[in-house]
Chain A
Amino acid sequence: MKPRRFDYVRPDTVAEAIALLAEHGEEAKVLAGGQSLMAMLNLRLLEPAVLIDIARLTELDTIKITGDKVEVGAAVIQNRLKDWPELAAKLPLLAKALPYVGHFQTRNKGTVCGSVAHADPSSEIPLTLATLGGEVVLRSRRGTRTVAAAEFQRGMLTTAREGDELITTVRFPVQSGSRVAFREVARRHGDFAIIAVAASVESASTKGAEVVRVGIGGVADRPAVRRIVIDGPGAAKSAFEALAWELEGYDDIHASARLRRDLLRRVGPAVVEEALQCAA
């Protein structure tokens, strides 16, 4: 289908974009890569009065290391971050997750921040951001605020962004270790994940126990992040058994809640094991 009519505006600066958002608020939608938004417009699931195109804002097209964070601007496309030479060293978990994001052809246009803004519960980038304890930077005429990823994503396609705010940057904390794993189950590579599991080993082994931070996508209405203490065989299995019931899962055309729980019980411990097996 074709989108309904809208006004198209392409500001030349971030300041102009923010002024437009202040003027139009909830009536406007921000267009960056458009890999979710354009599909929703074509299907007429959304009918904004105004589209504000930020894809060409060079101020937002930057990947920067500032202290212990990697800052990714709102115009950075997913394939650019995937091919960033520092990625595997600074953000090994994200390096494992990004190849699962959509297809090569959609990563050529889709943005990192756009994926966070869209907040699909099965989406890999918001899952990784939440698992690593990252944050989202929002700017409006009222000022700039930073929201932890865990508080940013509120539910199915719902975030803490106010109508007049622009996501300018997301910040991923640089990882100290590289013992990570990421896996998802989908009908076909590049399709929406039925479930996705991310794992990052937090600390070196002490007294035989290890702490693993796990992120689970596609089961609840937003990424679920937990710390699991692995203090013996069967620890991961029982942790995911409990998590499967806690997160419940949901039914949609791709899978039933029951299948999601079952997949989580099988895939979760395997992903934790893979992370633990990584060389430190």
Chain B
Amino acid sequence: MRRVNKDERARIAFTLNGRAVSGDAEPRMLLTDFLRHVIGATGTHVGCEHGVCGCCTVLIDGAAVRSCLTLAVQAEGRSITTVESLAAADGTLNVLQKAFQQHHALQCGFCTPGILMSFTDYLARNPHPTEDEIREILSGHLCRCTGYAGPIAAVLAASGGMPNTTQERINEESRSQP
């Protein structure tokens, strides 16, 4: 039985992006804060801290979850994957990131790490999603500046569903309006 009393700091160890990491945390410390303040992995962003905005989404054992609704101590022994894992060591963006760049799927970028991690999980399960399926996954995220057309186009492009650009898409949509 694992027990950490409220005033204790426990040594927490897990795998972060394939690398063993550890640090000390009180039981109440959220995984978001542990990643950012203890480990120093600040790619994961903190928005609402109650599971609504999706900025803090990371993969735990491959599944996209809210790290603000997870205690650091719950991550013990797990494999955590964050946005820092996506680009190559030399900074080359992966297919999904490139598609976000090409389709203007971000402006301020605050919500982007979470969105990228959600689709990293989802595209592994469903490599060629429909637009409706993408919208459903995206409904777990809030974006306050760019909107959702760009991310939808980017995910479609990254999954081979729609190679055209956002501008072409907007043109198509305006043509199809009555």
Q: Spell out A's residues near B (CB within 8 Å).
A: 1-12, 16, 31, 34-35, 38-39, 41-43, 49, 51, 53, 55, 79, 99, 102-106, 108-109, 188-190
Contacts and interface: CB of A to CB of B under 8 A. Distances in A.
Interface string B1-23: 11111110000000000000000
B118 A105 contact: yes
A10 B77 CA distance: 13
Contacts of B33: 2
Contacts of B137: 103-105
B1 A16 contact: yes
A7 B122 CA distance: 35
B64 A104 contact: yes
Given A8-B27, A34-B70, A109 B3 contact: no
Nearest to A19: B1
Contacts of A190: 139-140
Contacts of B4: 7-8
Interface stretch (B46-54, B79-87, B92-100, B159-167): B46-54
B73 A106 contact: no
Nearest to B5: A7
Contact of B71 (A4, A8, A79): A8
A9 B28 contact: no
Contact of A189 (B71, B73, B136): B136
A12 B1 CA distance: 5
B46 to A, nearest CB: 11
A104 B139 CA distance: 9
For B30, B63, B135, the residue with the greatest tally of chain A CB atoms inside 10 Å of its CB is B63
Contact of A8 (B3, B54, B66): B3
B157 interface: no
Interface in B19-37: 26-30, 33
Given A5-B7, A6-B28, A189 B50 contact: no
Contact of A3 (B2, B28, B65): B28
Contacts of A7: 3-6, 27
Given A9-B1, A189-B136, A39 B69 contact: yes
B107 to A, nearest CB: 21
Contacts of B5: 7
B26 A104 contact: no
A53 B1 CA distance: 10
A38 B51 contact: yes
B146 interface: no
A6 B69 contact: no
